[in-house]
Amino acid sequence: MEVLSLKVNGDTRCLAAAPQATLLEVLREELGLTGCKQGCDKGDCGACTVLLDGQPVLACLTLAALVQGREITTIEGLAPAHRRRCAESPCASKQDKLHPVQDAFDEAGALQCGFCQSGMILSATALLQRDDDPKRETIREALSGNLCRCTGYTQIIEAVERASDEHAGREHRPRAWEQPATEPAGEGES
Amino acid sequence: MAARDQHGPQAPWRGEFRVLTKPQRKVDGAAKATGEALFTDDLALPGMLYARTLRSPHAHARIRSIDTQAARALDGVHGVITGADLPQSYGVIPWTQDETALATDRVRFVGDEVAAVAAVDERTAEAACALIEVDFEVLPARLTPEEALANPEPAIHHNERRPGNISKHVKLEFGDVDGAAAQAAQVVEGDFSFHGTTHAAIEPHCALARPDADGRLTLWSATQITHYLHRALALVLGLAPEKIRVIQPCLGGAFGGKSDPFSLEFCAAKLALITGRPVKLLWTREEVFYAHRGRHPMQMHYRTSSDGEGHLTGVDARLLIDGGAYSSFGLVTTYYSGQLLTGPYDFPSYRFDATRVFTNKPPCGPKRGHGSVQPRFAFEVQLDELAERLQLDPIELRRRNLLGENTTTVNGQRITSNGFARCLDEVERASGWRERRGRLPRGHGLGVAGSMYISGTNYPVYPNDMPQGGVQLKLDRSGLVTLFTGANDIGQGSSTVLAGIVAEELGVEPEAVRVVAADTDLCPVDLGAYSSRVTFMVGNAAIDGARKLRRQVLAALAQEWEVAEEEILLAGGRAGLFNGDRDLPMREAFVLAETRFETLGATGSYNTPTLGGDYRGGTIGASPAYSFTAHVVEVRVDCETGVIRCEKVWIAHDCGRALNPVLVAGQMEGSAYMGIAEALFEHHTINSRGLHAGPSLLDYPLATSVDTPELAALIVESIDPEGPYGAKEAGEGPLHPSLPALANAVHDALGLRLRELPFTPGRVLRALRSQAEAGS
């Protein structure tokens, strides 16, 4: 066993772990942060995505011992950090307790079973940090490491667009099912 | 049908919906978005042990002996069990109980469970499994249905009534199919094949069992059938059902893949009873692939006849179904492969001859669109061929054969509401079909297909006359309404729909409704999340229960205010009169009701009317309502690489009434995504040694956000007379047309008829080569 010092969601936590322990194991089993999910334990599904210094990484492929001193953000840390930043406005409703990306996912129906959502929301948050008005193709690309089996990704993409619109103070784009007449794709598009 | 089951499709308060039919957030949305929601593997109990499963390395073998001594002696091991500890056979269908939790004398596929170990941690349990010595006598393995039929011995299951490795055979004929073919102006005939796919829910199967101090057992499991699991546990463990509590925590996707009782649930329970400690058993992703229960491979021969104007006169089908090693739901699959094809088109004669065969492969079972996705593919491609022969627009051909509403299918199923004609209109309009189909450049095409699916099944898995869906409601002076239901929310949002119904009926805000679901100690029985039954059946039960409470609240208010009950409106968390006089927070209205009627509670139930054809098997496929779907799929095919790029799917689905359009659209989009992915990418391949070709989420290619086409959900409402406020299912029906519509789009793009799934680049290139050779 090794003694590790990890900075998770703003708190420094000391714990003992085997040298081969993954960040996923430590987060779930030692720190009780079960929002980080194990879907495959092989780096295929993205359900264990966390942010490492703001960048999405797969916790199941990350050795805990190697990320000491780095800033680790799990899904549990997203909303509290957001709340700290807007501490002057006390939380009133359920929606205010959520980070804007979490809120957009909830509102848009992007959550079905919810198992992939922690990873998906963290990947989306990282995307919006570097590009606050991403094109649809950029969103698809940025989320392509997070498998979702429920939604067909449509409402997830709409949630990211919604978060982006919200951030920019724009009117929300209509969702696919809200459009009474869908325009056929033009011949010139690819 | 009991009067209690009929509520009418109208909104409760003078015809206007206040909660339903509008986008509502999910009751568990915030918990899931923040990671607070607890799934089975997120639970941990003091003193908990971890279990692992030992599996067969052989596709078919007799077990001569098992030596567990070394495993038991390993430091940290607390329990080892084998088939001898759990000999009672079970199976979800009462007539085909051919499974045991662990192999008793025979293993029937690579991955069949042989032993289980509980230890202080997973690594120790794994190490102990490796110390178990099993003496196998390897038997010949049958890896295709043809091989299994040709070699009846050694039989995969000994069954005197059905020898020769036949799991189930169904042959049903309605009308004169051969006569229709003989007299037909057009007959299209051909072979089709479906390859087999799996659910691949992102959450692996997991079970946690706790032996309680009072002699009871609690099992938390990632299951979509809490009630059937409860029954199976009682049977296999030999415990009285009242001593067992089954709880489904948050569930990370299922799609039919968690609707059998699984080995791990029995093993976790047995190990907990033996060790006296909580035991968790989580399967790895690889184990989930072997547990399977996915969509059956089928080889299908279809002959479809029509007159000169394209009116169908007969459909004749022969299906060979690869069942894998156990029965699972196979009896139902075999019936569904024929029984669910008899709409949305009207044809006067029909025959299907379906045979499900045991093979030494992971068992197949129900997957979203159970049993009917494969036949629908074959049939809808043949309709496209027929339209081509008759030089008819494929949508026009389908319009000429509409079944219509309030009618009966050729196999005796009652059809009530039917919005299929409007589904065709919607996809035709939205896709620009008339202007574009047949006129796009080579490699670019549009295809259409339709389908019909059940909203629940009349016949419960085990015969009984008790309600199929039930709820219990309590409300009190706090203003909170609690709904208890056995219904499994598996991510589809059933708890949200039920909360919406209760909020609508009682006039409270949806946030004032708490749903307690899928806990056998607390909740009335519901049969589970399968056959697209929950909104229809439990929705009706929720209306039933809520109306009883509403009557009490209204009676108390009417007395207090000295007005007629009809003048009172409960809405938005307030009680008042329609004319605007009087206004009371609902909490105070509940105080009046609790004062007058004392402690408040009600139950609600639903049972299906007696339906189905008057013949053996006629009730299988009978449903209180059917949903209808049409898709148009747009593809571009790269003729150099053979890669089909699906660009867009227009999905028009008749869901009766969309109680929550966000959830309905999500089900439609998720269904179409899954269907397209099955047509283009997914392939549950078992190789010649019985091994899965790639049991990982990388090698089993799931469509990513980049591979998935744009999906346009076009909600069509037909307002079903018996559905809750007119609602029908949305979770499975919208998958069916994806595969044939895609195949038909490839034909529009290139003139190729693809009949063998999946449509890999290699198959496309071969077809292009044959086309070029035929043309030169």
Q: pLDDT tens digits for B438-454?
A: 999 999 999 999 999 99
Q: Which of A102, A145, A147 sits opposite B34 (nearest CB)?
A: A102
| DSSP codes of every residue in B697-738 | TTTTT---TTTSPEEEEEEE----SSSGGG----SSGGGTTH
Q: Locate the domains of chain A by residue range.
A: 2-74, 76-173
**Beta pairing, strands B217-221 & B298-306:** unpaired
What is the strand order of the sheet A11-17 is part of? Answer: A11-17, A2-8, A71-73, A49-52, A55-58
Q: Which of A36, A44, A106 sits opposite B33 (nearest CB)?
A: A106
Q: Which residue of A has its CA nearest to B368?
A: A150
Q: Which of A38, A76, A141 sits opposite B34 (nearest CB)?
A: A76
Amino acid A187: pLDDT: 39
Separation in Å, CA of A68 to nearest CA in chain B? 23
Amino acid A86: pLDDT: 66
Amino acid A88: pLDDT: 54
Closest CA to B235 of B104, B97, B363: B97
Query: Which residues, 6 or more positions from A77, have their beta carbon under 8 angstroms from its beta carbon?
Result: A8, A9, A10
Q: pLDDT tens digits for B226-262?
A: 999 999 999 999 999 999 999 999 999 999 999 999 9
Amino acid A188: pLDDT: 37
Give the span between the Cα atoms of A106 and A99, in whole angstroms.
11
Amino acid A81: pLDDT: 78
**Average pLDDT in the B677-690 region?**
96
Amino acid B623: pLDDT: 97
Q: pLDDT tens digits for B69-97?
A: 999 999 999 999 999 999 999 999 999 99
CATH 3.30.365.10 spans which residues of chain B? 3-37+466-606, 298-459+613-775
The answer to whether the CB atoms of A176 and B665 lie below 8 A apart is yes
Q: Which of A117, A176, A181 sits opposite B713 (nearest CB)?
A: A176
CA dihedral B507→B510→B514→B518, nearest 10 degrees, is: 110
* CATH architecture of structural domain B3-37+466-606: 2-Layer Sandwich (3.30)
CB atoms within 10 A of CB B482: 18
Separation in Å, CA of B435 to nearest CA in chain A? 10
**Whether the Cβ atoms of residue B245 and residue B520 lie closer than 8 Å to each other:** yes
Q: Which residue of A has its CA nearest to B433?
A: A184
CATH number 3.90.1170.50 is the correct assignment for the domain at B40-139+205-251+258-283: yes
The answer to whether the CB atoms of A155 and B252 lie below 8 A apart is no
Amino acid B160: pLDDT: 86
Q: What is the DSSP secondary structure assignment for residue B364, as one 8-state letter?
A: P
Q: pLDDT tens digits for B372-394?
A: 999 999 999 999 999 999 999 99
Q: Name the E strands within B591-701.
A: 600-606, 626-637, 644-654
Q: Which residue of A has its CA nearest to B662?
A: A109
The answer to whether the CB atoms of A114 and B714 lie below 8 A apart is no
Residue B367 has pLDDT above 60, yes or no: yes
Closest CA to A162 of A147, A172, A175, A150: A172
CA dihedral B210→B202→B36→B213, nearest 10 degrees, is: 0
Cα separations in angstroms, B218 against A83, A190, B47, B122, B225? 38, 55, 15, 21, 15
The residues that bridge with B320 in the sheet, in sequence order, are B299, B355
**Beta pairing, strands B481-485 & B469-475:** antiparallel
**B209 vs A85, more confident:** B209
Separation in Å, CA of B49 to nearest CA in chain A? 13
- pLDDT cut 70: percent of chain A above it: 87
**Whether the Cβ atoms of residue B703 and residue B201 lie closer than 8 Å to each other:** no
The answer to whether the CB atoms of B669 and A145 lie below 8 A apart is no
B76: left (phi over 0), alpha (psi -120 to 50) or beta: left
Q: What is the DSSP secondary structure assignment for residue B619, as one 8-state letter?
A: T
Cα separations in angstroms, B51 against A179, B258, B276, B329, B628? 50, 19, 14, 27, 45
Amino acid B525: pLDDT: 97
Q: Which residue of A has its CA nearest to B43?
A: A34
Q: Which residue matches tokens 């009087």? A: B582
Q: How many CA atoms lie within 13 A of B250 on its CB side?
A: 27
* CATH architecture of structural domain A76-173: Orthogonal Bundle (1.10)
B3: left (phi over 0), alpha (psi -120 to 50) or beta: alpha
Give the span between the Cα atoms of B554 and B570, in whole angstroms.
9
Q: Which amino acid is at B208?
A: L
Q: Which amino acid is at B330?
A: G
Q: Which residues from A are below 8 Å from B648, CB to CB?
A: 185
Amino acid B775: pLDDT: 85
Separation in Å, CA of B731 to nearest CA in chain A? 10
The answer to whether the CB atoms of B670 and A152 lie below 8 A apart is yes
Amino acid B288: pLDDT: 98
Give the span between the Cα atoms of B415 and B345, in whole angstroms.
12
Give the span between the Cα atoms of A117 and B35, in whole angstroms.
8
Cα separations in angstroms, B150 against B73, B144, B456, B525? 46, 10, 37, 44
Q: Which residue of A has its CA nearest to B667?
A: A151
The answer to whether the CB atoms of B202 and A147 lie below 8 A apart is yes
CATH number 3.30.365.10 is the correct assignment for the domain at B298-459+613-775: yes
Q: Which of A41, A45, A106 sits opposite B29 (nearest CB)?
A: A106
Residue B776 has pLDDT above 90, yes or no: no
Closest CA to B318 of B301, B333, B335, B332: B301
The answer to whether the CB atoms of B511 and A37 lie below 8 A apart is no
Q: Which amino acid is at B712?
A: A
Q: Is B557 exposed, middle or buried (0-12, 13-18, 19+ CB in 10 A)?
A: buried
Q: Which of A40, A94, A115 sits opposite B285 (nearest CB)?
A: A40
| B730 token code pair | 């949305």
Q: What is the DSSP secondary structure assignment for residue B693, as one 8-state letter?
A: S
Give the span between the Cα atoms of B297 and A168, in whole angstroms.
50
Amino acid B3: pLDDT: 43
Q: Which residues from A are below 8 Å from B645, CB to CB?
A: none
CB atoms within 10 A of CB B609: 13
Q: Which residues from A are below 8 Å from B665, CB to CB?
A: 109, 154-155, 175-177
**Average pLDDT in the B143-152 region?**
98
Q: Which residues from A are below 8 Å from B713, CB to CB?
A: 154, 176-177
Separation in Å, CA of B255 to nearest CA in chain A? 9
Separation in Å, CA of A167 to nearest CA in chain B? 18
Give the span between the Cα atoms of A163 and B582, in whole angstroms.
41
**Beta pairing, strands B710-716 & B444-454:** unpaired
Residue B1 has pLDDT above 50, yes or no: no
Closest CA to B652 of B669, B667, B631, B672: B631
Q: Is the peptide bond before B249 cis (omega within 30 degrees of 0)?
A: no
Closest CA to B656 of B606, B715, B609, B604: B715
Closest CA to B56 of B138, B152, B177, B126: B138
Separation in Å, CA of B42 to nearest CA in chain A? 6
Q: Which residues from A are below 8 Å from B37, CB to CB?
A: 114
Q: Which residue matches tokens 């099992």? A: B219
What is the strand order of the sheet B279-282 is part of? Answer: B77-82, B113-119, B49-55, B279-282, B206-211, B217-221, B244-247
B28, B32, B38, B495, best to mutate vs chain A, most A CBs in 10 Å = B32
Q: Which sign, positive or negative, has the C-alpha torsion A30, A36, A37, A40? A: negative
**Average pLDDT in the B358-366 region?**
98
Q: Which amino acid is at B77?
A: V
Helical residues (DSSP H) of B635-692, grouped into ranges: 661-680
Give the span between the Cα atoms of A73 and B15, in whole angstroms.
49
**Average pLDDT in the B5-21 region?**
87
Mean pLDDT of chain B: 97
Q: Is B407 exposed, middle or buried (0-12, 13-18, 19+ CB in 10 A)?
A: middle
Q: Which of B32, B41, B705 sits opposite A111 (nearest CB)?
A: B32
Q: Which amino acid is at A48?
A: C
Q: Which sign, positive or negative, has the C-alpha torsion B351, B357, B361, B363? A: positive
CB atoms within 10 A of CB B77: 23
Query: Which residues, 6 or more positions from B774, have their beta carbon under 8 angstroms from its beta carbon?
Result: none
Q: How many CA atoms lie within 13 A of B727 on its CB side?
A: 28
Give the span between the Cα atoms of B593 and A154, in whole angstroms.
45
Separation in Å, CA of A69 to nearest CA in chain B? 24
Give the span between the Cα atoms of A155 and A184, in whole angstroms.
20
Cα separations in angstroms, A173 against A120, A177, B105? 21, 12, 61
**Average pLDDT in the B617-638 region?**
97
Tally C-beta pairs within 8 A across A and B: 212
Q: Which sign, positive or negative, has the C-alpha torsion B664, B670, B671, B672? A: positive
Q: Which residue of A has its CA nearest to B426?
A: A181
Tens of pLDDT along chain A (190 residues) come to 899 999 999 999 999 999 999 999 999 999 999 999 999 999 999 999 999 999 999 999 999 999 999 999 999 999 987 777 665 555 445 556 899 999 999 999 999 999 999 999 999 999 999 999 999 999 999 999 999 999 999 999 999 999 999 999 999 998 888 865 444 444 333 3
Q: Which residues from B are below 8 Å from A49, CB to CB?
A: none
Domain A2-74, CATH among 3.40.50.800, 3.90.1150.10, 3.10.20.30, 3.30.365.10: 3.10.20.30
Separation in Å, CA of B702 to nearest CA in chain A? 8
Cα separations in angstroms, A160 against A53, A137, A175, B130, B516? 21, 12, 12, 47, 31
Q: Which amino acid is at B307?
A: D
**Whether the Cβ atoms of residue B732 and residue B370 lie closer than 8 Å to each other:** yes
